[in-house]
Structures are given as C-alpha cells and as structure tokens.
Amino acid sequence: MRNNVMVPWIRKYLPKTTKDIIGQSSSITHMKNFIKNFKQLKKKALLIYGPSGSGKTSSVYAISNEMNLEILEVNASDFRNKDLIDKTIGQSSKQQSLFMKEKLILVDEVDGLSGTKDRGGIQAIAKIIQNTSFPIICTATNPYEQKLSGLRSKCELVGLNELTYLNIFEKLKEICEKEKVKFEEIDLKSLSRRAAGDLRAAINDLQSLVSDGELKKEDVRELSERDKTETIIDALVRVFKIKDAKVASAAFDNVDEDFDQRFLWLDANLPKEYTRPEDLVRAYDALSKADVYRGRIRRWQHWRFLVYVNCLLTAGVATAKDGKYKEFVKYAPTMRLLKIWQANMKYQKRKAIAAKIAEKTHSSVKDAIKNTLPYMQVMMQKDKGMKTNLAEFFDLDKEEVAWMVK
C-alpha cells in the first residue's frame, strides 16, 4: 500500500470551527459559555475529559478561531516541576497578549503529570488557576485519578462523548469525497468500527490504506485481522466459568461489542449457566446495579461510571457463584430482549424530546408527550421553516429532529 498525499489528513482536516466538531454540541456550548462569562465565574478553569480522539484539543482550537482568541498551548508532560510551570503558565496567565487580543491558555494532557516525578506540578497549576487573568482549559483522559483531586476542585468539568462508529463514518466519508477516493460504504464502516471511538486514529488508518485513489476491501480486511479480538462467547466463558475477579474483569477488554450488547448476552445466558438459585440472585443483583450506573451515564453523561459498569458486569457476576459450573452450556442471544431494548431506545428519544418541550412550555413531560409532541411532529413534517424554528426554540439536536420528521 502506498499513499501519494504528502500532507497528513489529520492535519489537513483539522476542525476550523465548532461546526466541524462532531458529536459534542452540548460540550461545545458549555465551553463557549465559560469563555464568554469567564470574569463573572467563580471557577476560572475548565477540565475537559474524554477518550482519545474525541476532540478535546481540536474543540479548544475551533472555539478560539471562532472567538478570535490568541491561544497559548502547553503540554503538561513537557513541564515536569513547579518552577517550570510557574515560568510558563504562571507568567502567561498574567501577561496581556502581544497583539492585545483576548487570550486562552490550554494545558493539554494534564493527566500526563505523574504524582512523583512531577512533584508540585498539579498544585502549581491549581494555584495559577486561582489567580489567572485569562481562561484556562485543561484536558485529560481520566479526570478522576487521585493525583488530579486538587485540580478538580478548581475546575468546572466538561465531559466529551465517545464518538460512535457512525459519527466517524460520516467524517471519513466526507474526507473520501473531498479527496476523490473510491470506496464501498461497508469497508468504510468497518474501518470506523475498528477505530473504537478514536477519530484521529480512524483518519490516520484511512490515509495509510488509500492506494491509487481507492480504499480496497482486502486492505481493510488485512488491517482488521491484525487486531486480535475475542468473541462475545469467549468473554462469557471467562465470566461464567471463572471465579477470579481479576481475570473476569478483563473479559470484555478485546471484545468488539458495546455495553448494551454485553448486557443482553449476560442477561440471556445467566439462567442457563447459574443453576443454583442463590448464585442467580447475586448475579442478577450485580447486573441490576450495573444497569443503574448505565442509566446515570445516559442521563447525566457521567462517563466515569463506566468503570463501575464493567466491574459489575464481569467481576460482579463472576464472583456471585459459590462454585464453578463445569457443564457445557451453549450461549446464544435472545431476540426478545433485543426487541425490548430497541423499543426502549425509541421511547427514550421521545422522552428526551418531551423533557425539552416541558421545560420550555412549563408543563409536565407526560403532558408534553400527550398534548404537544404529536402536533409538533405534524408541523415539522409539513413545514420546513417551522421545522427549523421549532428545532432552534426547543434546542433539538440533529438526531432528535430526524426522529420528529421521520
């Protein structure tokens, strides 16, 4: 495979404005409001967190472009002690921009500071935040590490969503069309799934695979086969047949299934495997607690709860049994549960839209579903102008608008 394009696509298609950032509209709004209202806010910094490739750094640059801000970026891992941090970030937080523009300070990968080598680094940044004259934005993958506790208390936290494979697919498709690359959608979707939410990695993979203006099926297949992935069946065996919590907790690490699918598989096969009633009760207790955390993630976007979900789904279910089950069990998914789950997802979308309507109309969600939402759907389906106005007034995102006009 060879690539005749010299400019890295990850740089060429770097977002210029927030419209180019995918899947993070609410977080972008939060960041903009923070910068606009910085002088009136008690907390003078944001701590943006999210998975690799979700758009943390590029979001900050896109916002600075739109708001005509001078941006000073420092990578925390390049400044290993208090003195260096004070000389760079500390001085910049007080000095006016050379061109008298408003300034934004970006401290990237703040979780790259260790708790021992970088002695005093986190505390130095926290102190600078208290006295800064300009907004400071820090980024991290996991903001809940113990070493960041002193920083968290000084910052507003903004979480970025993990991008779905469809988010990534749309971006890759856009790049292919601009670069006049021939492709099959099935191959591009395969590449998007493989990225596991990391848009940056997906773009790099795409550029590395394109040869003579074409994305070839065999190249995508070859790349996918390099990744050693386990099946959901392998993972279920490790959870159901093993009592060791440490081994079980890694059961889904290499499985290409989302958490919803894992729930369905575990729920469907638990009664087949755990035949002792007391084991089954404890296992379903772990599963139900995991579902509670999953609900909190959906409602509040508290992605830090994912660690609890995974722990309960794996180690929680594995240690629920008193002894190992040696009998062979043929694991299978259940279509009934899948249909229930799909129906719930459909109603969740309706409920989310109704909640926005209820807030604006000062009514209950139940009243909004019964008395307002059906008429809104008709108006939005019949009149494009009305669709735009209502979507803007009720702050509906693209997915919600699509649901209303389907």
Number of CB atoms found within 10 A of residue 158's CB: 24
Q: Which two tokens stand for residue 234?
A: 């392998």
d(CA 220, CA 192): 11
Number of CB atoms found within 10 A of residue 212's CB: 11
At residue 268, the pLDDT reads: 87
Number of CB atoms found within 10 A of residue 216's CB: 17
At residue 61, the pLDDT reads: 94
Q: Which two tokens stand for residue 39?
A: 């002088």
Burial of residue 235 (CB within 10 Å: 0-12, 13-18, 19+) is: buried
Provide the pairing of β-strand 155-159 with 45-49: parallel
Bin 231: left if φ > 0, else alpha if -120 < ψ < 50, else beta.
Answer: beta
At residue 335, the pLDDT reads: 63
Q: Chunk the chain into consecutive blocks of 10 residues (it has 406) and report each block's average pLDDT, rounded to whole numbers.
A: 60 90 91 92 92 89 92 75 77 71 86 60 87 91 82 90 90 94 91 86 88 86 61 85 85 79 88 93 94 85 85 94 82 66 71 88 87 90 90 88 88
Q: Which two tokens stand for residue 67?
A: 């708001």
At residue 1, the pLDDT reads: 42
Q: Which helix (H) or strand (E) holds 157?
A: strand 155-159
